[in-house]
Amino acid sequence: MSDPSATSNGAAARSGAGAATGWEPVIGLEVHVELDTETKMFCGCAVTKGDPPNTHTCPVCLAHPGALPVVNRRAVEYAVRIALALGCTVRPRSVFHRKNYFYPDLPKAYQISQYDEPLAVEGSFGYWVGDERLTCRINRVHMEEDAAKLVHAGGEAGRIAGSDYSMVDFNRGGTPLIEIVSEPDIPSPEAAREFLQQLRDLVIGLGVSEAVMEEGQIRWDANISVRPSGSGQLGTRTELKNMNSFRFLHQALEAEFRRQVDFLEAGGAIEQETLHFDPDTGLTTPLRSKEEAHDYRYFPEPDLVPLTADPAWVEELRRSQPELPAARIARFVDDYGLSRYDATVLGGPADLAAFYEAVVAEGVDPKQAANWTMGEYAAHLNAAGIEPGRGHVTPARLAALVRLVQDGTISGTAAKQVFALMVEERGEPREIVERNDLAQVSDAGELQAVVAGVLAGHPAQVEQFRAGKDQVVGFFVGQVMKETQGKANPKLVNELVRRALAG
């Protein structure tokens, strides 16, 4: 994504892990994204979630001898869309390779992947860390197929260690998978987390993956090395495999950064290896020494001709790309006058952005609409565990609530109460205000009587005011609000109290 405001030095983003140690981390990511196609990468089996195990299989994805793979065109389209969104060059010709290894979730004993002639190369991804715009170069985007799913039974928390037996569900085997490989341009664990969150927003916004983390539809390996701050050299890296939690990623990178720094300062040399992060102990431990490419004995898949991506077709896809989060965030700043932070929160995820824009389209102030969408509404989504746009709080209803505050019908405090009742009673804000008698009292005559009563009941405080103690006004306003159960218009009460005291 080309972005003229982009910087890649990441000075501010580096403030976390690297600060004050004299060392800085250098992080790269390999991100796997399952594509949301109807069928698998090389056969006609449906891609599904939650169906009974081994109900979507065929000779191709079970690797029966003689079965031949056929490339899923929609998967190629989705992969090209991702590559284009990352500013990559889509190569007119790419090649599928066999990546050979033996594991129970891989019936062919090889995975069809891409190797030295991938689908797309040399892109970049712009992302925000706080107020800083960083750019990470993208090395490549390639296509492959997912492995089947292993289920370990009888052990603790589904881990293989201590389990009694393991089962294989081949429903997932052969699901189209994209691997996005970044260059080691990411300057901190915090930046790595932001990179992944914003990349996830991107693939969801493209409509190519639901990227549900718990389902492993997006997962990643992170590699990290350390170097003396500002030195520009690259140290030996270690790899953290197969993570799908932003929080654990952050913790794991922090832990591994400290381990490497301690080790180097004690005179050790970092070995290239694959590590496991244990969230319980907060430590990284070696899993195995890193495989080299030659361990996989890559060779071109003899059952598939090279993949051609016709440049005219690629251009057609480029023209029909949906609006990407970075462009939408910039538009929210320009069109609605939102701060960059608010625009990122609202404009990043496509579904929340659509909800917000529907509220604004009802004609309410964009800034107020933003506050309510990011505040009460987002909290409600979290609490109810639902996606933006679902549930009974529609854009029209939220806009109606904002309008009631804007025209002074209800106070800001009452509005929060009304929102809670909108969730609970599933009703229209105006009806809820009427039914629960929550309208703000802005009738000067009615309030004057209350003010007079309060002043009469507190002669000592009236004396204090006359003696020059101006703060007593606040006390009177508070008393009037109490008398009216918080329904009085505070601004008007303030005026009336001052007028009565002066008179």
Contacts with Zn ion, residue ranges (CB under 5 A): 43, 45, 58, 60-61
Q: In whole angstroms, how close is the CB of 348 to Zn ion at the nearest point? A: 35
The answer to whether 230 and 24 have CB atoms below 8 angstroms apart is yes
Return the half-sphere exposure (C-beta side, CA atoms, 13 A cut-off) of residue 7: 10
Q: Is the four-CA dihedral 358, 84, 203, 77 of positive or negative sign?
A: positive
Q: In whole angstroms, how close is the CB of 42 to Zn ion at the nearest point? A: 8
Q: In whole angstroms, how close is the CB of 62 to Zn ion at the nearest point? A: 7
Return the half-sphere exposure (C-beta side, CA atoms, 13 A cut-off) of residue 16: 22
Q: Of 60 and 261, which CB lies nearer to Zn ion in the complex structure?
A: 60
Q: In whole angstroms, how close is the CB of 14 to Zn ion at the nearest point? A: 47
Q: Of 60 and 450, which CB lies nearer to Zn ion in the complex structure?
A: 60
- Compute the distance between CA of residue 368 and CA of residue 401 in angstroms, rounded to an integer: 10
Nearest 5°: the CA angle 113, 117, 123 is: 100
Q: Of 45 and 493, which CB lies nearer to Zn ion in the complex structure?
A: 45
- Compute the distance between CA of residue 467 and CA of residue 406 in angstroms, rounded to an integer: 38
Q: Of 104 and 453, which CB lies nearer to Zn ion in the complex structure?
A: 104
27: closest CA among 246, 230, 192? 192
Q: Is the four-CA dihedral 357, 361, 366, 369 of positive or negative sign?
A: negative
Q: In whole angstroms, how close is the CB of 299 to Zn ion at the nearest point? A: 23
Q: In whole angstroms, how close is the CB of 45 to Zn ion at the nearest point? A: 3
Distance, CA of 280 to chain centre: 24
134: closest CA among 326, 368, 414? 326
Q: In whole angstroms, how close is the CB of 173 to Zn ion at the nearest point? A: 8
Q: Of 51 and 424, which CB lies nearer to Zn ion in the complex structure?
A: 51
Residue with tokens 């569900």: 169
Residues in contact with 317: Cβ distance below 8 Å, sequence separation at least 6, in sequence order: 77, 80, 81, 84
Q: Of 58 and 374, which CB lies nearer to Zn ion in the complex structure?
A: 58
Q: Of 76 and 454, which CB lies nearer to Zn ion in the complex structure?
A: 76
290: closest CA among 223, 355, 363? 223
Q: Kindly list the distances between the CA atom of residue 106 and the CA atoms of 96, 147, 173, 216, 453, in Å, as whole numbers in the listed order.
A: 17, 6, 8, 17, 82
Q: Of 15 and 39, which CB lies nearer to Zn ion in the complex structure?
A: 39
Q: In whole angstroms, how close is the CB of 59 to Zn ion at the nearest point? A: 7
Structure tokens belonging to residue 262: 């301690």
Q: In whole angstroms, how close is the CB of 308 to Zn ion at the nearest point? A: 24
Task: Specify the DSSP element, H or E, that contains 242.
Answer: strand 238-243
Q: In whole angstroms, how close is the CB of 46 to Zn ion at the nearest point? A: 9
Q: In whole angstroms, how close is the CB of 43 to Zn ion at the nearest point? A: 3
Q: Of 58 and 181, which CB lies nearer to Zn ion in the complex structure?
A: 58
443-467 b/e (C-beta count within 10 Å ≥ 16 → b): eeeebeebbeebbeebeebbeebee
Cβ-in-10-Å burial (0-12, 13-18, 19+) of 268 comes to: exposed
Structure tokens belonging to residue 495: 């005026």
Q: Of 45 and 83, which CB lies nearer to Zn ion in the complex structure?
A: 45
Q: In whole angstroms, how close is the CB of 39 to Zn ion at the nearest point? A: 8
Phi, psi of 363 (to 5 degrees): 95, 15
Q: Of 74 and 416, which CB lies nearer to Zn ion in the complex structure?
A: 74
Phi, psi of 196 (to 5 degrees): -70, -40
Q: Of 31 and 43, which CB lies nearer to Zn ion in the complex structure?
A: 43
Q: In whole angstroms, how close is the CB of 172 to Zn ion at the nearest point? A: 11
The answer to whether 414 and 438 have CB atoms below 8 angstroms apart is yes
Q: Of 61 and 204, which CB lies nearer to Zn ion in the complex structure?
A: 61
Q: Tell me the residue ranges of DSSP E strands in 279-360.
A: 283-289, 299-300, 307-308
